[in-house]
Structure 1
Amino acid sequence: MTATTVGYADVNGLHLYHEVHGDRGTPLVLLHGGMLTIDLSFAGLIPDLAQRHRVVAVELQGHGRTADIDRPITPANSAGDVVALLDHLGIDRAHVLGHSMGGAVALELAVSHPDRVLSVVPCSASVRPDGMHEDFLDPERMATSTRMPTEQDLADFTEAYRRLSPHPEHFAGFLASLSASQADLVGWSDEELAGITAPVLLVQGDHDFTTVEHAALMLRLIPGSQLAVLPGTTHMQVTRRADLLLPVLAAFLGDR
Structure 2
Amino acid sequence: MKSSQPSLVAAAQQVQQQLNSAMTTSRGRRLFSRGEGQTVILIPTFAELGFVYAPLVDAVPDGWQVVLYTPAVSAHEVFGPPQRAEELAQILDHLGVDAAHLVGWSDAGAVVSEFTRRWPDRVRSRVYLGTPSTYVMPRGMRLISALYARSALYRVTPDAVAALLVALLMGGRAMPTHQLLPRIRAMGAVARYLKFSILPCLRYPNSVAGTCPTLVAGGETDRFVRLEHMAQLARATGGRFVLIPGGDHFLPWTSPHHVTRVVWAFLDEAS
- Report how far residue 70 of structure 1 moved: 4.9
Number of residue pairs matched?
Answer: 227
For residues 27 and 117 of structure 1, the distance between their equivalents in structure 2, rounded to whole angstroms, comes to 11
- Report how far residue 248 of structure 1 moved: 0.5
**Over the residues paired in the alignment, what is the CA RMSD in angstroms?**
3.2
Answer whether contact 1:110 1:197 (CA < 8 A) is retained: no
- Report how far residue 137 of structure 1 moved: 4.4
Which residue does 1:243 correspond to in 2?
A: 257
- Report how far residue 101 of structure 1 moved: 2.2
Q: How does 1:1-256 map to 2 (within 5 A)?
A: 1=1, 6-8=23-25, 15-23=28-36, 25-34=37-46, 36-38=48-50, 40-49=51-60, 51-62=62-73, 68=74, 70-130=76-136, 132=137, 136-137=141-142, 147=172, 150=176, 151-158=178-185, 161=187, 171=188, 173=189, 175-181=190-196, 182-184=198-200, 185-188=202-205, 193-194=208-209, 196-208=210-222, 209-223=224-238, 225-255=239-269, 256=271
The CA deviation string for residues 81-120 of structure 1, in whole angstroms up to 9 with x for no partner, is 0110110110111101111122221122222221211111
- Report how far residue 42 of structure 1 moved: 1.8
The CA deviation string for residues 123-174 of structure 1, in whole angstroms up to 9 with x for no partner, is 11123243x46685489x9969964852222333455x4xxxxxxxxx1x2x
Classify the secondary structure of the residue corresponding to 1:44: helix
For residues 169 and 108 of structure 2, the distance between their equivalents in structure 1, rounded to whole angstroms, comes to 26
Larger relative helix fraction = 2
Structure 2 unaligned residues grouped into runs of 5+? 2-17, 145-164
For residues 254 and 96 of structure 2, the distance between their equivalents in structure 1, rounded to whole angstroms, comes to 30
Note closer, same or farther for the CA distance 1:189–1:237 as it changes in structure 2 (3 Å cut). Answer: closer
For residues 94 and 169 of structure 2, the distance between their equivalents in structure 1, rounded to whole angstroms, comes to 45
For residues 68 and 170 of structure 2, the distance between their equivalents in structure 1, rounded to whole angstroms, comes to 31
Larger relative strand fraction = 1
Note closer, same or farther for the CA distance 1:32–1:246 as it changes in structure 2 (3 Å cut). Answer: same
For residues 114 and 28 of structure 1, the distance between their equivalents in structure 2, rounded to whole angstroms, comes to 15
Q: Which amino acid aligns with 2:263?
A: L
Classify the secondary structure of the residue corresponding to 1:198: coil
Q: Which amino acid aligns with 1:218?
A: L
For residues 253 and 170 of structure 2, the distance between their equivalents in structure 1, rounded to whole angstroms, comes to 20
Q: Which amino acid aligns with 2:105?
A: H
Q: Which amino acid aligns with 2:199?
A: A
Q: Share of identical aligned residues, percent? A: 23
TM-score w.r.t. length of structure 2: 0.71
Greater shift in the superposed pair: 68-77 or 238-247: 68-77
Note closer, same or farther for the CA distance 1:16–1:74 as it changes in structure 2 (3 Å cut). Answer: farther
TM-score w.r.t. length of structure 1: 0.75
Answer whether contact 2:75 2:193 (CA < 8 A) is retained: no
Which residue does 1:165 correspond to in 2?
A: none
The CA deviation string for residues 20-51 of structure 1, in whole angstroms up to 9 with x for no partner, is 1112x21000112347332x222222121254
Q: Which amino acid aligns with 2:32?
A: E
- Report how far residue 9 of structure 1 moved: 5.0
Structure 1 unaligned residues grouped into runs of 5+? 63-67, 162-170
Greater shift in the superposed pair: 72-81 or 146-155: 146-155
Note closer, same or farther for the CA distance 1:250–1:33 as it changes in structure 2 (3 Å cut). Answer: same
